[in-house]
Amino acid sequence: MNITYRYQSAREQYARLGVDADAAMEKLLQTPISLHCWQGDDVQGFEGSACLDGGIQATGDYPGRAKTPRELMADMEFALNLIPGRHRINLHASYAVFTDTPVDRDKLEPRHFAPWVQFAKRLGVGIDFNPTFFAHPKAAKATLSSEDEDTRAFWIRHGVACLRISEYFARELGTPCTMNIWIPDGFKDTPADRTAPRARLKDSLDQILSCGYNRELVRVTVESKVFGIGLESYTVGSQEFYLNYAAKNNLLCLLDSGHFHPTEMVADKLSSMLLFQDQVALHVSRPVRWDSDHVVIFDDTVRQIAREIAIAGPQRVILALDFFDASINRIAAWVIGMRSMQKALLEAYLTPFDTLARLQDQRDFTQLLMLQEELKTYPLGDVWDYFCQENAVPVREDWYSKVKGYEQDVLSKRESQHC
């Protein structure tokens, strides 16, 4: 049936609930999501590193991994063309492009990211950034919390270098850069001293931030984690550590949906955090039994997160995805993750919150439960299809044949190689 016709019918059904479907689609256009480059190459980067460490892991050996800047950029562009709306891209320091002699991470300069700026300018997107505190010989034991002063100084220099690069992105592209700090430091077994590593992390962050960066251009976020592989008993950068550090230093917290105890809901944290902070940043991910970084799908966790974003207003939540699945077509992984997040946001923007909140205030929990359940079968898909059509991207599963074509023409011709 005709997409426009279906949309008109859906629009009427939502209007009866007091929901404006046109406004919901407009809001969705105003909700950029930062597309993480690292799904395209299993978090390998361009430094020739063979294996991932730091307690994170990409499993699978699907052919066609991007191995060069040119390939990764082409793949990201291909994916972005199948995702409605204008988004951002999210880079790691390990994706520096060396045209002359490579330098170590503490010597990185803006010029090493010039090709990314050119790429972002051509696509009309902003760039977000992440220092890379893993997959490096000096990260084998610890980074910003290291007991070895030379190692710690190296990573502090890396943090400062990344602030300069983030300023450069923001200046060049005319949009603030979110720079997210995540470190893998922690212990496999019960630590003797929980305090000293955290005190060193605090001091390292103080030193990085005191370099005098431009806070208008760069929004620093700090990402906590409850555990990682080989770091089961203790992580230095815990939630309490960063919540307090961010509050004291006027930074933002970044919540990754895979970084909490399995029954904790990130969605439930947003309303509390946003009463005390202007903004919160998110890494939307999908943990399956552990922080496995599966592709984001339209599940209850993501739908609840989307609801909180809709209630708070999209400008208060800095949204990025974070997953790396090497067992499926990597471009499809990006497209599925982004489109699923967008569907969840659209559903949230189409929800009659005022009515639901009134029922809650009236303590009419029967009607509230009834309406929440009935809403689940409202014609979200009709609005979504129309949104895709209007934004000139394939409707429903039509995007998949394009990815398959690209796989045949481009990805399958790449040499296979995995660690």
Catalytic residue among 136, 225, 269, 294: 225
- For position 325 contacting ligand RNT by CB under 6 A, the verdict is no
- For position 283 contacting Zn ion by CB under 5 A, the verdict is yes
- Which 3 state secondary structure label does DSSP give 240? helix
Site for Zn ion in 238-267 (CB under 5 A): 256
Q: E strands, 38-169, where?
A: 88-92, 126-130
| Residue 256 falls in the annotated catalytic set | yes
Q: How many CA within 13 A on the CB side of residue 254?
A: 26
- For position 291 contacting Zn ion by CB under 5 A, the verdict is no
The one-character DSSP state at 298 is: S
Closest separation in Å from C-beta 178 to ligand RNT: 12
Q: Please name which of 369, 295, 400, 374 lies closest in space to residue 58, comparing C-alpha atoms.
A: 295
Maximal CA-CA distance, the chain:
68
- For position 105 contacting ligand RNT by CB under 6 A, the verdict is no
Q: Rounded distance, CA 145 to CA 186, Å?
A: 9
Site map (CB under 6 A) of ligand RNT, residues 189-228, x = contact: ----------------------------------x-x---
Q: Rounded distance, CA 375 to CA 353, Å?
A: 11
Nearer to Zn ion, 138 or 283 (CB): 283
Compute CA distances 290 → 45, 134, 415, whole Å: 24, 19, 31
Nearer to ligand RNT, 241 or 406 (CB): 241
Closest separation in Å from C-beta 325 to ligand RNT: 12
Distance linking the first and last C-alpha atoms of the chain: 48
| Residue 300 falls in the annotated catalytic set | no
Q: Rounded distance, CA 332 to CA 298, Å?
A: 15
Site map (CB under 6 A) of ligand RNT, residues 109-138, x = contact: ---------------------x--------
Q: Where do contacts with ligand RNT occur on this chain (CB under 6 A)?
A: 38, 43, 56, 130, 182, 223, 225, 256, 283, 291, 322
Q: Which residues are part of the catalytic machinery?
A: 182, 223, 225, 256, 259, 283, 291, 293, 322
Q: Where do contacts with Zn ion occur on this chain (CB under 5 A)?
A: 256, 283, 322
